[in-house]
Amino acid sequence: MDSYRRDGLTFDVRDAGPDDGEPVVLLHGFPQDSSAWDRMAPALHQHGLRTLAPDQRGYSPMARPRGRGAYRLRETAQDVLALLDAAGLDSAHVVGHDWGGIVGWALGAWYPERVRTLTALSVPHPGAMARAVVTSDQGLRSYYMGLFQLPVVPERLLLAGDGAAMRRMLEHGGLPGADVDRYVRRMQEPGALTAAINWYRALPWSGRDPVGTVHVPTLHVWSTGDAFLGRAATEDTARFVDAFYRLEVLDDVTHWIPELAAERTAELVTAHVRA
């Protein structure tokens, strides 16, 4: 399959690997798209796994609804359930990075019957994140999330001068230049950046629907070079999972785990899936 529909929206999806392989849904974050998995997905295929990597809400050109309320977490989680339904899958393994990881945490808490295992890359459980914002340096690391609540201003700042500010932000976070260029070009499409930032603007709506305890076997992968997410929330995350939980720390890797630690992460995901 190369696309699926939900509520009048059409989502692009990359479905690859052996048809009879264990299905693994790959969920990207901001400001990525499904190409974030271009290095990691082939490694998963070599291990016999099938991957389904959608361009999530706001990133697929035909799935950019207006209004920040349309990007609340309950909606983005149900987009993944619609993907499973369209693929004829009762359940799948879920791997999410950045915002995709937050969707993964929600799926593991709200719809555990649809999630065989969860792998969250970089992002801690939202409950641990909320606590760390007020008890550690996480608030400073997340300064941009406050800026993103403003209307219009973030788009103008990030896209000015052919996206110079966005390029600096991504490069500061350690993303390689070729990936920076690709993501910035995608965000320059009409309406793309506003839709992507609306995930942040929907936080007041998402906060009314707490994620809660996760009930599926969970692998959490965090990297010591992450400029956006610190250790405090990472170490607090275990108490939000009441199933098997494992934390794997990657030394000297920045926030962009799918792009920079693809083979190692594929090995971790494969072992987690098969366990």
Distance from C-alpha of 122 to C-alpha of 223, rounded to nearest angstrom: 7
* Contact between residue 202 and residue 71 where contact means Cβ atoms under 8 Å apart: yes
Asked if pLDDT for residue 207 goes beyond 80, the answer is no
Say whether 214 sits in a helix, a strand or coil: strand
Region of poorest pLDDT, from 37-51, 132-146, 244-258, 261-275? 132-146
| pTM, to two decimals | 0.97
Q: Which residues are catalytic?
A: 98, 200, 255
Q: What is the pLDDT of residue 40?
A: 98
Pairing of strands 49-54, 9-16: antiparallel
Domain around 41: 3-274
99 backbone dihedrals φ, ψ, rounded to 5°: -60, -30
Q: Report the pLDDT averaged over residues 122-139.
A: 93
Place of tokens 């264990």: 22
Q: What beta strand segments (E) does the chain contain?
A: 3-6, 9-16, 22-27, 49-54, 92-97, 115-121, 218-223, 245-250
Distance from C-alpha of 122 to C-alpha of 152, rounded to nearest angstrom: 28
Q: What is the CATH number of the domain that holds 47?
A: 3.40.50.1820
CA end-to-end distance (rounded Å), the chain: 28
* Contact between residue 226 and residue 252 where contact means Cβ atoms under 8 Å apart: no
Q: What is the pLDDT of residue 209?
A: 87
Reported as a pLDDT band with limits 50, 70 and 90, residue 64 is very high
Q: Report the pLDDT averaged over residues 102-107.
A: 98
Number of folded domains that form the chain? 1
Asked if pLDDT for residue 205 goes beyond 90, the answer is no
What does the block give as tokens for 78? 């149900």
Q: What is the pLDDT of residue 16?
A: 98
Q: Report the pLDDT averaged over residues 230-240.
A: 96
Q: What is the pLDDT of residue 172?
A: 85
Residue type, 135: T
Q: What is the pLDDT of residue 225?
A: 95
Q: What is the pLDDT of residue 178?
A: 93
Q: At what angle do helices 192-201 and 153-172 cross, to 10 degrees?
A: 90
Q: What is the pLDDT of residue 163?
A: 93
Distance from C-alpha of 264 to C-alpha of 176, rounded to nearest angstrom: 18
Look over the chain and give the mean of its residue pLDDT values, rounded to a whole number: 96
What does the block give as tokens for 253? 């890797």
Q: What is the pLDDT of residue 143?
A: 82
Asked if pLDDT for residue 206 goes beyond 80, the answer is no
Distance from C-alpha of 125 to C-alpha of 139, rounded to nearest angstrom: 15
Handedness of CA 137, 183, 200, 190 (dihedral sign): positive
| Percent above pLDDT 90 for the chain | 92
Residue type, 189: E
Distance from C-alpha of 206 to C-alpha of 53, rounded to nearest angstrom: 23
Cα–Cα distances in Å, from 31 out to 18, 90, 100, 169?
Answer: 28, 29, 11, 11
DSSP run (H or E) holding 186: helix 177-187
Say whether 25 sits in a helix, a strand or coil: strand
Q: What is the pLDDT of residue 208?
A: 83
Model pLDDT for residues 145-192, shown as the tens digit of each residue: 888 999 999 999 999 999 999 999 899 888 999 999 999 999 999 999
Q: At what angle do helices 99-110 and 126-135 cross, to 10 degrees?
A: 120
